[in-house]
Amino acid sequence: MNQRERGVASVKDLESEQFIIGAPISDERKRAFFLDYLSNRPGAAAVESIFRRAGAFESQRDFQDAFAFGFSVLLMKGPFVEGSNWLAYHNWDLAVAAERYLLTQLDAMARESVGIPAMSVARTWPELLKGADELIEHLHSGNQPQRSAIIIAGPLMQDWAVEMRDLVTPRWELPDDVNQNWIVGAYRERLILNIRESPVSALYVTDVPRFAKITKFGEPSFSLEAIDEQRASELLDAHPTIVAVPEGRPDTRAERIRQLRLRVGLRLYESYKLELLDRSAIAGVEIEAG
């Protein structure tokens, strides 16, 4: 059994780590990381797309801290150092995580507005769409389909993509500006949004611009900073378990500081405000289990 198999750092490993610790962050790699996030974000921006399509989206130039959400995390420094053999980060997961915040807000707003539905529908596409038709009629939103949206909260049925083919326009046949994760298709020109992480199972139809509006403030706020010895010591004092010691390394303060210096501090925030306008502009029914 060699040193790597026993979890003991080899001389080569230590030399590589020391190189990463001492090397500056590459401005080019830092910029590429941010651009990769920006390029991935539209593919997950389902909430913005639905509100934009309905004419209920506004953009303002200045970033607003009051409505900011995002990430303040540690990442490995290696991918940001010129000459290292670390692969670059790809930021689809970050883009998805940012969108989940907006989906959670929209889901909570829908649940609070509708309350406990008095009726239910079966978890099949024919029944869901029949229920959607009834809710559309209830809201009197039949004449302007692009203003309204269908929201399915909770998981879809098994083989949902196969079963929907003859009833719904699938996502992959939609225009590029609404071909996003969480938008599963369109029914009679109304986009269908699936908030699968919702704690409830419900079907909603909403007249979007009457129900709410969303405002985007500025561009994402981004910083990526190296961690020097002083900053590592401060982080360790504030959060003693902030970083783990690899197997085979001594569990000492010096080793934890070393592990922190092998990382960078990422701060990446967006700013959106989702504002409720009229609770009566959304209607919903429960989706039966099964």
Give the 3-state secondary structure of 205-239: EEEHHHHEEEEEECCCEEEEEECCHHHHHHHHHHC
Q: Is the pLDDT assigned to residue 14 strictly greater than 90?
A: no
What does the radius of gyration of the chain's CA atoms come to, in whole angstroms? 24
Facing residues of 190 across strands? 187
Q: Tokens 């080019």: give the residue.
A: 28
* Count of positions (residues) in the chain: 290
Residue 288: both structure tokens together: 């039966």
Element (H, E) at 274: strand 263-276
Cβ contact 147:209 at 8 Å = yes
Question: pLDDT tens-digit profile of 29-56?
Answer: 999 999 999 999 999 999 999 999 999 9
Q: How many CB atoms lie within 10 A of CB 197?
A: 13
For all residues of the chain together, what is the average pLDDT?
A: 91
Q: Is the pLDDT assigned to residue 199 strictly greater than 80?
A: yes
Q: Which of 34, 33, 35 is nearest to 80 (CA)?
A: 33
Written as one letter, the residue type at 34 is F
Task: Tell me the pTM.
Answer: 0.89
Q: Is the pLDDT assigned to residue 5 strictly greater than 80?
A: no
Residue 234: both structure tokens together: 């401060």
For residues 87, 92, 98 and 104, what is the CA-based torsion angle, rounded to 10 degrees?
Answer: -140
End-to-end CA gap in the chain: 52
Query: At 11, is the pLDDT very low, low, confident or very high (cuts 50, 70, 90)?
Result: low
Give burial (CB, 10 Å; 0-12/13-18/19+) of 179: middle
Q: Residue 9: its pLDDT value, please? A: 54
Q: Which of 48, 86, 85, 63 is nearest to 180 (CA)?
A: 48
Q: Is the pLDDT assigned to residue 161 strictly greater than 90?
A: no
Domains in the chain and their CATH numbers? 11-103+215-274 (no CATH), 119-211+277-287 (3.30.2320)
